[in-house]
Structure 1
């Protein structure tokens, strides 16, 4: 049985595949119309930059979604990456609190 996991999609990939392409528009147009800089938009859709709170507000306004959608996508992505990269070491380093122990 393989232990490989499917890579976690970056929020920018979801933005591109679920919003930009179905609308038959370009990242450039989203950037221009929403006031997000073109370099920032390119970095987001290429998975090189997170979606900030300001960007979440701009994307929510542009696409008519909730701002929480974009923030939740980023938060879940960040947590999955942290679990993958940091959790094993953290579990070794942290001694959990045991209430009632002497």
Structure 2
């Protein structure tokens, strides 16, 4: 079974927002007061979406900052799983979980 490709938030920005809405990276940068280099790096998958960027995108596109930060978190978690799977497999779960600690 093949693994699905991990999609960077910059690809979502491009494919789901900029292209359909006919917005250029330059226009997005100007309208959101984000440096054009930051927009370009996000679109290339070279830069993360920060809380500041998420706030600006959500104000501009009419969605929530959580949408943008959620995309970034999902991407980051998948990257960690792929890049460090062996490390996480070696970690043993504690017998007593927080649920049992909080019950007592």
What TM-score do you get using the length of structure 1 for normalisation?
A: 0.88
Q: What residue in structure 2 maps to residue 70 of structure 1?
A: 68
- Give the deviation of 1:55 after TM superposition: 0.1
1:5, distance to aligned residue in structure 2 (A):
1.2
Instruction: Extract structure 1 runs of 4+ deviating beyond 6 A.
Output: none
Over aligned residues, Cα RMSD in angstroms? 1.1
TM-score normalised over the length of structure 2: 0.87
Query: Which consecutive unaligned segments of at least 5 residues does structure 2 have?
Result: 97-104
Instruction: Determine helix, strand or coil for the equivalent of 1:86.
Output: helix
Unpaired stretches in structure 1, ≥5 consecutive residues: none
**Alignment of structure 1 residues 14-53 onto 2, 5 Å:** 14-53=12-51
Flag the structure with higher helix content: 2
Match of 2:7 in 1: 9
User: May I ask how many residue pairs the two structures share in their alignment?
Assistant: 96
